[in-house]
A and B are shown apart, each in its own frame.
Chain A
């Protein structure tokens, strides 16, 4: 990976962090409604992963989707506008935090039913297989989603039909407040792929370079072999499951230990050690992100609300009928 791409990854990770920190403030001020799940701590996962894709590869994820949206090239303006429910959001304010998509950037959502998007991801790959191309669908989900039936039906179908899907389990070690070993028969999620005869691997998700390498290898395998692959990425969310999580299920010492393992700090050290960028250069990127996020907040706050007439649009495609 060249310097430009490495710095792009650094920029994206900081952008996710700062945008969500501002998002949390706006949520506390009551400007963002509903549920909001922060990606803070997990930035290296989607950043390394999506940097490894071809633009023609489709991405679909669960409701912790702000970071994935930014990595796919959706602007900070649109992400912030959607959080505020504005007409200028990529989903026109109809989706909110959990439903961010821009199909022109091959980001197919933000999906809020745990595990529900996995069979749909298999469907994207089926559509591509039917069309005769070798696009890959990258489907991200949490460890909690691997205990629901959808996961197993989707994995089975993808292997039986040789669908090009990269199944990515972001194992942040808690499904809401329930630790993996309290909910899953095997705590190493990648073992679940073994039951379907599916290639798999496990990687440290706090190190964006390692994630990128593992994802690149998996994508190469899928593209050439025409088979699915499951990649388990070990990570940790620094914040609660969603805003307003009392976090009774984990010790603060554990959280602190992981926060010392900050993926942005690890990457800064890597870039310095490899003499790719000095602290000053990276501080410059941080400052640039600060401005971009501030502008996004201003853009979102100044954007119009959706028109009341939009209540009745986008229900059907044939015609806007009720």
Chain B
């Protein structure tokens, strides 16, 4: 067990899987000579060479199209999108191609492909570079969407994603690369499609993932000072969605909030709340609340940006509201 950063955990996962399987290679903008714009692949170019760490043109369609093609013929590419906002430039490859090709051709081939993408706001990058559009991608059957909230999960989930035979969008958060956590040494895998309890509690359930987990853990500490014990369920994978731990927790606490960084309308929270109402209506003691981003494009100004993003006090307030 070592205490390492999210960046180191992701970097370790990539390196271990590249060492393990020669079919694994990386392609993307500035992944090689530059070392990755978030320094995740620093040193990879020197270690693995230009063949396995491929710098691409700034051409998202070419990056994802080429990755899909290489995966169809048996390689295991990891395509990096410099930010998830650029996924919109290559939406066809995620939605029309990666998510559908296997099905459309009757299962004739596999798509062992990982698309790594950095998302999230909070770095004053303006409206087009700060989005958390995870829910959009989770909408499409055929795709798997993973977004870890701790370094250990990042490592274990990424290693599983690389070994998976399906197309996986792996969403990291731009403000979480320096987050530290305990990560087991050596072979360590977390299964795709399994939610987990990150903090036990009895009074209410907080359902969240990725950046929302970091905020919710802090909120839970605040609540604990007032004698409120929140149980935190971390989704980790948005599709396929594992509702078991959520429902199990909710049936115990009968009260819940959902915390996400994306916009509230049509979001992850909307899905979770619907599922709870559909599958555990008899256990509902209070309306389930959603804590999410304000319905605006994120502004550059720091104060305005922070006002638009969900914050710890918002979570604390929502928790108290459902406990009324």
* A→B interface (CB under 8 Å): 58, 89-95, 99, 101-103, 108-109, 113, 116, 118-128, 130-131, 149-150, 153-154, 156-157, 160-161, 313-318, 321-322
| Also in contact, A123 and B70, with CB within 8 A (given A131-B75, A156-B62, A318-B165) | yes
Name which of B102-110, B294-302, B316-324 contacts chain A: B102-110
**What 7 A-B pairs have minimum CB-CB distances, sorted nearest first?**
A123-B69, A119-B65, A314-B107, A92-B106, A127-B73, A127-B70, A153-B62
Residues of A within 8 A of B61 (CB): 119, 149-150, 153-154
User: Cβ of A119 and Cβ of B62 under 8 Å apart?
Assistant: yes
Q: Is B25 an interface residue (CB 8 A)?
A: yes
Residue among B93, B109, B164 making CB contact with A318, cutoff 8 Å:
B164
Supplied contacts A123-B69, A128-B73, A317-B111, 4 more A-B pairs, CB within 8 Å: A99-B104, A119-B93, A154-B62, A314-B107
* B→A interface (CB under 8 Å): 25, 51, 54, 56-57, 59, 61-62, 64-75, 92-93, 96-97, 101-112, 141-142, 144, 164-166, 192-193, 240
User: Cβ of B166 and Cβ of A95 under 8 Å apart?
Assistant: no
CA A58 to CA B112, docked complex, whole Å:
19
| Also in contact, A130 and B141, with CB within 8 A (given A94-B105, A156-B57, A318-B164) | no
- The minimal Cβ–Cβ distance linking B142 to chain A, given in whole angstroms, is 6
- The minimal Cβ–Cβ distance linking A56 to chain B, given in whole angstroms, is 11
Find the B residue at minimum CB distance from A316: B166
- The minimal Cβ–Cβ distance linking A69 to chain B, given in whole angstroms, is 12
A-B contact pairs, 16 of them (CB 8 A): A94-B103, A95-B106, A99-B105, A108-B72, A116-B96, A120-B66, A123-B69, A123-B72, A125-B69, A127-B73, A130-B25, A130-B70, A161-B54, A314-B106, A314-B107, A315-B103
User: Cβ of A123 and Cβ of B67 under 8 Å apart?
Assistant: yes
| Also in contact, A119 and B111, with CB within 8 A (given A150-B61, A322-B141) | no
Most B CB contacts (10 A, CB to CB) among A94, A99, A120, A149 go to: A120
Find the A residue at minimum CB distance from B74: A127
| Also in contact, A124 and B69, with CB within 8 A (given A103-B109, A160-B57, A322-B141) | yes
Find the B residue at minimum CB distance from A58: B73
User: Cβ of B74 and Cβ of A157 under 8 Å apart?
Assistant: no
Residue among A102, A317, A322 making CB contact with B102, cutoff 8 Å:
A317
CA A124 to CA B74, docked complex, whole Å:
9
CA A317 to CA B65, docked complex, whole Å:
19
Most B CB contacts (10 A, CB to CB) among A92, A108, A121, A153 go to: A153
User: Cβ of A120 and Cβ of B68 under 8 Å apart?
Assistant: yes
Find the B residue at minimum CB distance from A92: B106
CA A318 to CA B67, docked complex, whole Å:
19
| Also in contact, A157 and B142, with CB within 8 A (given A120-B65, A131-B75) | no
Residues of A within 8 A of B111 (CB): 317
